[in-house]
């Protein structure tokens, strides 16, 4: 994947870098409760500081819709990031204007400053060119380190890259390199695992993947829709019966592109949706009318593990069952451990992403053994769907 990296920027002594980071972190009573996103920005900030640049951080928090909302100010995050960075981080309660210019001018070389929530500016989410020009005047280069916001064509995520020399930050660089290995230029065969509750939320994703991968394993509630479309009874399981034609269409597209669809072969069913509910394992045509499918069975996991043995690249999004409830996390945990073991042994490039996916891999205790786990959410899904990501495309345009 072609884009410029910080290493391409050369000597930055005396220059100011506008750095888009993702500081949209969970907060409780003014305190950051999970600093993962803050920690992910450290490498980029320290790299720029080492090269002599002043670092001006741009970020959003929540959805203020162009209004100043006190509860969505980034002021508390400046202190939290300073602790993570181990260095002072100044804060300016705006993201444009002469007072911002003055604060940056007063900043010492290698100094760090965090500007106020970019979404307080009405033109941010509209990609307003006048706002972009005003913000671009604050710096000499632009660095995007927020892949999670790359699917938005906002001023701070894309338009600034059209006005300044633009580079990918270290976290962005790792994300793009990993995604390129997964679907850009993957080592074949490629296996995709897609789970979750509803087919309706992942139609575009499925239609794209079956044209890109060699095998697609479908799990979770969405597998029930495919099973029903094949004529199997799914009892009172979560199932979008009205999407049976869509499921058949996706299978047809897969067939035309040489992609094997892997659906559950055995099922874990229960009569109530609750942890440790009475349950049993059964075949595809043995689900009673008052039972619901809550997990895939051991035969399905074994088939999936065999598919992983054959694959050289794995892309994973979504759990295989109701993993939040024991023992209906069994298939997800077993499959995740199988993938992680192969990735750790260097036999498989395993890339995963999406909120539930990250939670499931952490639950299985194997997230660190995957080749790469994206926390980007919407941007990761749109990438899997084959949609353009404005924040990434803007970086590509600066590659010569």
CA gap 149, 127 in Å, rounded: 13
* Cβ(79)–Cβ(135) below 8 Å: no
* Cβ(32)–Cβ(25) below 8 Å: yes
Name the strand (E) or helix (H) holding 256: helix 244-256
Contacts of 262 (CB under 8 A, 6+ apart): 215, 216, 217, 218, 303, 304, 307
> What tokens were used for 323?
């993993």
* Cβ(3)–Cβ(399) below 8 Å: yes
| Helical axes 330-344 vs 355-364, angle rounded to 10° | 80
Identify the active-site residue in 126, 378, 386, 387.
Answer: 378
Name the strand (E) or helix (H) holding 35: none
CA gap 349, 370 in Å, rounded: 8
* Cβ(44)–Cβ(6) below 8 Å: yes
Give the length of the chain.
400
Identify the active-site residue in 133, 153, 174, 198.
Answer: 198
Provide φ and ψ at 7, rounded to 5°.
-60, -20
Task: Assess whether 15 carries a catalytic annotation.
Answer: no
Query: How many beta carbons lie within 10 A of that of residue 2, not counting itself?
Result: 11
CA gap 190, 31 in Å, rounded: 42
Task: Assess whether 378 carries a catalytic annotation.
Answer: yes
CA gap 177, 150 in Å, rounded: 15
Identify the active-site residue in 235, 355, 377, 386.
Answer: 355
* Cβ(234)–Cβ(293) below 8 Å: yes
> What tokens were used for 99?
């007072």
Nearest CA to 47 among 8, 79, 74?
Answer: 8
Nearest CA to 183 among 349, 341, 340, 358?
Answer: 349
CA gap 161, 148 in Å, rounded: 16
Task: Assess whether 52 carries a catalytic annotation.
Answer: no
CA gap 225, 117 in Å, rounded: 42
Identify the active-site residue in 37, 96, 119, 181.
Answer: 37
Instruction: Give Cα 293 distance to the centre of its chain.
Output: 28
CA gap 135, 346 in Å, rounded: 44
Active site residues: 37, 198, 355, 378
């Amino acid at each position: 994947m072609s884009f410029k990296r910080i290493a391409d920027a050369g000597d930055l002594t005396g220059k100011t870098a506008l750095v888009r980071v993702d500081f949209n972190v969970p907060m409780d009573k003014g305190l950051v409760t999970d600093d993962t996103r803050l920690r992910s920005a450290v490498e980029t900030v320290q790299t720029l500081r080492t090269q002599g640049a002043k670092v001006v951080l741009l970020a959003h928090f929540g959805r203020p819709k162009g209004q100043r909302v006190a509860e969505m100010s980034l002021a508390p995050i400046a202190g939290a990031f300073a602790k993570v960075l181990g260095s002072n981080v100044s804060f300016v309660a705006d993201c444009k204007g002469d007072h911002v210019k003055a604060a940056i001018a007063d900043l010492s070389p290698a100094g760090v400053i965090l500007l106020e929530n970019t979404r307080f500016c009405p033109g941010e989410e509209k990609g307003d060119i006048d706002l972009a020009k005003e913000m671009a005047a604050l710096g000499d280069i632009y660095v995007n380190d927020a892949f999670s916001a790359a699917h938005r064509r906002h001023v701070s995520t894309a338009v600034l890259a059209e006005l300044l020399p633009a580079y990918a930050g270290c976290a962005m660089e790792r994300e793009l390199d990993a995604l390129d290995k997964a679907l850009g230029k993957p080592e074949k065969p490629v296996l995709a695992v897609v789970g979750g509750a509803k087919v309706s939320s992942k139609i575009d994703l499925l239609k794209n993947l079956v044209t890109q991968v060699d095998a697609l394993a479908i799990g979770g509630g969405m597998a029930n829709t495919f099973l029903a479309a094949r004529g199997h009874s799914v009892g009172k399981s979560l199932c979008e019966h009205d999407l049976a034609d869509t499921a058949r269409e996706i299978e047809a597209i897969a067939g035309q592109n040489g992609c094997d669809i892997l659906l559950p072969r055995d099922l874990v069913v229960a009569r109530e949706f609750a942890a440790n509910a009475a349950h049993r394992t059964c075949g595809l045509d043995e689900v009673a009318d008052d039972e619901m499918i809550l997990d895939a069975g051991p035969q399905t996991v074994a088939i999936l593990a065999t598919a992983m043995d054959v694959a050289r690249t794995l892309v994973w999004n979504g759990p295989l069952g109701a993993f939040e409830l024991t023992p209906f996390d069994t298939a997800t945990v077993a499959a995740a451990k199988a993938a992680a073991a192969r990735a750790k042994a260097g036999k498989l490039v395993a890339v995963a992403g999406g909120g539930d996916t990250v939670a499931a891999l952490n639950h299985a205790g194997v997230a660190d053994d995957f080749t790469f786990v994206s926390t980007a959410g919407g941007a990761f899904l749109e990438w899997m769907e084959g949609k353009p990501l404005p924040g990434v495309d803007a970086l590509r345009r600066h590659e010569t």
